[in-house]
Amino acid sequence: MPSAPHLSPNVVSTAMPPLASTRETNRARREGKQEAKEGPTPASTRPGIVYMSRVPPKLTPAKLRRLLEAHGEVSRVYLAPSPTAQARGTRQYVEGWIEFAEGKVAKRVATLLNGAAMGGRRRSAHFEDLWTLQYLPRLTWNQLTEDVAARKATRRQRLQMEVAAARAEGEFYAQHAQKKKKNKNQEAKKEPEQGEPA
């Protein structure tokens, strides 16, 4: 009986795994549906969101992620840019939200670090700044992104209204300037006609 060829650990086998029977596949589908009907995931495995009310200057999302990953797995980071800094072309952030993979970890990080020095390298710009963190229970990332999108839409709408009002005001002044110029031209034409003897 020939022996199976010896495979080195670097070689990947191309053999297909055996196909599951239809009965096993259907059973797995039913179990998946039953798990879905059981309800939401337990609170321990739900992601948790921490709010950062003040972001120190020169702190970027990557640096923030690096500082917080020492305490737990960070899923997402969003820092809201400062409108005045955007106008100047610099990157500065006002506030931020950090999503941790587990809610327990998020709560622990918020209570542990709030009011403590940020630390990091001694020469870093935010070494002596303090953490300003607050755990937000029951907030999901989707709710957060919807809120940010609503704020952006409101701001965009307000800017459009201001631009439309400024445009209407400019057109109003331009029309009145044209009328005034036209009236002056007509008066200038009438004056020589009145000054000539008839």
Each residue's pLDDT, cut to its tens digit, for the chain (198 residues) gives 444 444 444 433 333 344 444 555 555 555 555 544 555 556 557 899 999 999 988 888 998 999 899 999 999 999 988 888 766 767 889 899 999 999 999 999 999 999 888 877 777 777 788 889 999 998 888 888 888 788 889 989 999 999 999 999 999 998 988 888 888 888 888 776 665 555
Asked if 96 and 52 count as a contact pair (C-beta separation under 8 A), the reply is yes
Q: Which residues pair with 52 in a beta bridge?
A: 96, 133
Q: Indicate the SS3 state at residue 26.
A: helix
Is the pTM higher than 0.85? The answer reads no
CA angle 44, 48, 50 (to 5 degrees): 145
192 phi and psi, to 5 degrees? -65, -35
